[in-house]
Structure 1
């Protein structure tokens, strides 16, 4: 495998920097509610959150089992603990869903970008194939027209999507 050229490395660094800057700007411009949900989700997905819960629930359980002398039992049946945990689970799942929705939108945008870049690259390669065929014809270089004809034809994305949808229907993968 060959190593990237200095220009390619610089181009990659530039692209990474620009995309990172854009992601930061979009994160900064996100609504306050989404930023708060993201911060809560990030914290609740951490080991600090697990440790905090182990400590709080451990003390709660120890106190209400009577294992801590001098502290009265305040939830001997653990009903309040169950209610607190249930309410917390409701809110945490909501925050996770908000974050997942935001990530799904970002993933859809990246997929759209990938599709458009790929279609552009395919179109450019088609034009290059046409140019190579004309050069070959000028230089009397034999070309297998059957194979080249396929390369020279632009791919129509809607036809590809229709074919994929048809195949999924035939295989019972979609309604």
Structure 2
């Protein structure tokens, strides 16, 4: 009588161990993915890319705007109040306009290069996010299938237990009937 019960318990324990192993494997795979995402490989930049990033970083900062405004203010004040032979750009400040146009003409494509690189990095990040989400979805489907399989095995073992219990009850009933 205890032999079928031991078999049932051992099969249930085996099923639980299988489930535990499946979950542990899934967790280990997740850890490796997270580790890879947290420790991205270092980006190798050319000298031009590095310069364009620095120019874009400085050109889009308040520091640049304030320094540039101060230089323009000093330029205008100096060329307005200086003695005639010290003025290098008298009003209407044609040289200043030329310098500003040159700075804008050079700065714009450099900033666009940096933005294009940033856009490429963003695109790669979104692709990585998509692949991670896809992997997670596939892993969830796999876990659902494994759970369904384990539930089916568990239900069949429960059915076996009930059949054995009925057999035991019938045996008890027969022995009670003989004893009467």
TM category, shorter: 0.5 to 0.7
Secondary structure of 2:92's counterpart equals coil
Residues 92 and 44 of structure 1, relative CA distance in 2, 3 Å threshold: same
Which of the residues 72, 76, 83 maps onto 2:86?
A: 72
**The structure with more helix, counted as a fraction of residues:** 2
> How big is the shift at 1:17?
5.3
> How big is the shift at 1:14?
5.1
**Contact 1:63 / 1:71 at 8 angstroms: preserved in 2?**
no
With the length of structure 2 as denominator, give the TM-score of the two structures. 0.60
**More off after superposition, 76-85 vs 102-111:** 76-85
2:35 and 2:85 map into 1 onto residues whose CA distance is 61
Structure 1 position 118 matched with structure 2 position 124: no
1:78 and 1:41 map into 2 onto residues whose CA distance is 27
> How big is the shift at 1:91?
1.3
- Report matched runs for 1:70-149 at 5 Å: 72-75=86-89, 76-140=91-155
Q: Tell which structure's C-alpha radius of gyration is larger.
A: 2
1:77 and 1:46 map into 2 onto residues whose CA distance is 28
Question: RMSD across aligned C-alpha pairs, in angstroms?
Answer: 2.8
> How big is the shift at 1:64?
2.2
2:59 and 2:107 map into 1 onto residues whose CA distance is 8
Structure 1 unaligned spans of 5+: 1-9, 142-175
Name the structure, 1 or 2, with higher relative contact order (CA <8 Å, separation 6+): 2
Structure 2 unaligned spans of 5+: 1-30, 157-180
